[in-house]
Amino acid sequence: MWSTVFLRVVTIEPGVTVFLDSAKAIEIRGTIVARGTESDSIKFKPWKAGKPWGYILFAQAAASATFGTDNSYASGCIMEYCSIREGGGSTAKYG
């Protein structure tokens, strides 16, 4: 399984579709900010229909989300209004 590793901040804008090839994965060791909207979601799907991709893994080094006193997003990893389709999954161990 090949992974794309995010070590810094990656922002995915509303309306974007992320296509992943079969047996590919996303590993987050930094920050992912994927904040779609109710009317303009972010989609993660296979490059070819019926050929599942791997997984999205938040490694131990991924930045935890933080929120303000009014519960509004402040920083760290967040995925809102994201559609994740046809991922194949995997088992990963981190020590």
More confident residue, 11 or 24: 11
pLDDT in tens, 40-71: 999 999 999 889 998 898 888 889 999 999 99
Percent of the chain with pLDDT over 90: 57
- Residue 53 CB contacts under 8 Å (≥ 6 apart), including other chains: 20, 21, 22, 23, 24, 25, 44, 45, 46, 47, 86, 87, 88
Tell me how crowded residue 32 is: count the other CB atoms within 10 A of its CB. Answer: 20
